[in-house]
Amino acid sequence: MNFVALKMLTGDRAKYLSLVFTIAFASFLLAHQVSIFCGILLRTANQIVDVVDADVWVMDSRTIYFDEVKAMPENDLYRVRGVDGVAWGVRFFRALGTAVAKDGSFKQSLILGLDDSTFVGAPRKMLLGSFEALKQPNTIVIDRAGFKAFFPNDELRLGDTFELNDKRATIVGISEASAPFTTFPVIHTRFSEAETFVGKQRNTLSYVLVKASDGQDPRALAKKIEAETGLKARTKDDFQWETIMYYVKNTGIPFNFGITIVLAFIVGCVVAGQTFYLFTIENLRQYGALKAIGVTNRRIIGMILLQAFVVGALGLSIGMALAATFFNATMNAIPTRGIVFLPQAAAIASSTVFIIVILASLLSIRKVLVLEPAIVFRG
């Protein structure tokens, strides 16, 4: 009977390929949009993720997410260091500035100032140079995407000079920093140099990065810092998720991607359901003949589900292959770097395709169950 079911399925090539294409398109769109949606949201917290040394981020009590910074007075650094359970606490600076290349092109850039002696917060992957070179005056480390933005046709190199907020800055390193949400070039320098590049202000301490003492729970330490200093303290993971959720709640990203995902589901259900139903209607005589020779309803339902499973598996495989090919081709491109094909997206697409296939099968199953075998003898 399984062989008969498959012959019936592939008998009309046009409808068979239409079903497979519909499932493939729906699964590709679902996996594609979910992966891009997650990749864009993860970008909002990438600069937090890049800081691998610190357990706790301390900031002004009114700070909501990473990109919203209110500088703290220098005294807050020493107050945090004085909390029991803090192994060390260092400065971290975050601001925006305008970098101007030799050819006159300019880019709004993300400037991150690292502790002068420890360089805590520096990305771990360096393509050229080293962070130790930042000990020289007027030096910066720029990320690969930022270098390519200024020199799109040139090989990576050191020694170029930038104008950064009307100050001269020399590139002594090129990093592979994670892409920020705004895709600005990411520039790292020493905290003291960052103050010079941005302009001396009364308060320049954006964050205090804290390492918990051995045996000290970071979340408990964060609560202790808040209680003793009145500042806001969050573990790395908590601050990352607070930043992501800010963009979820306050931007149109979830709504726009949600529309596409819902449309993919609706198109998959409607087109696949209608096509599969028409396929069943055209094969009613065959099902009637099977009933007439004694094939049970249960066996016929199994045949319909087998047909649906074959179509769903083929369509899903093609859709996932297309999605994987797309992300493999784009994940190293400058605008889309870091946005990859997520296993979770594949799981969501697979589950959705399973639902689409079941819904499409239900219409056909109902029609066959009420079918009278005598239909095969009618004209």
Say which residue, 58 or 379, is predicted with more confidence. Answer: 58
pLDDT at 286 over 60: yes
CB proximity list for 273: less than 8 A, separation 6 or greater: 356, 359, 360, 363
CA nearest to 371, candidates 272, 311, 304: 304
For residue 68, the one-letter residue type is: E
> What is the rounded distance in angstroms from the CA atom of residue 168 to the CA atom of residue 107?
15
The conformation of residue 124, written as its DSSP 8-state character, comes to S
- Angle at CA 88, nearest 5°, toward 82 and 90? 100
pLDDT in tens, 169-195: 999 999 998 888 888 899 999 999 998
> What's the rounded Cα separation, in Å, for the pair 6 and 258?
36
Alpha helices by DSSP H, the chain: 2-11, 13-43, 46-49, 75-81, 144-150, 191-198, 218-229, 236-250, 253-282, 284-292, 297-330, 343-369
Q: What is the pLDDT of residues 42-72, one digit of tens each?
A: 899 999 999 988 999 999 999 999 988 889 9
Report pLDDT digits (tens) over 122-177.
Answer: 888 899 998 889 999 999 999 998 998 888 888 999 998 888 888 889 999 999 98
pLDDT exceeds 80 at position 80: yes
First to last CA, the chain: 26
Residue among 326, 263, 253 at smallest CA distance from 40: 253
Ordered by start, the domain boundaries in the chain are: 2-44+252-377, 73-230
Q: What is the pTM of this model?
A: 0.81
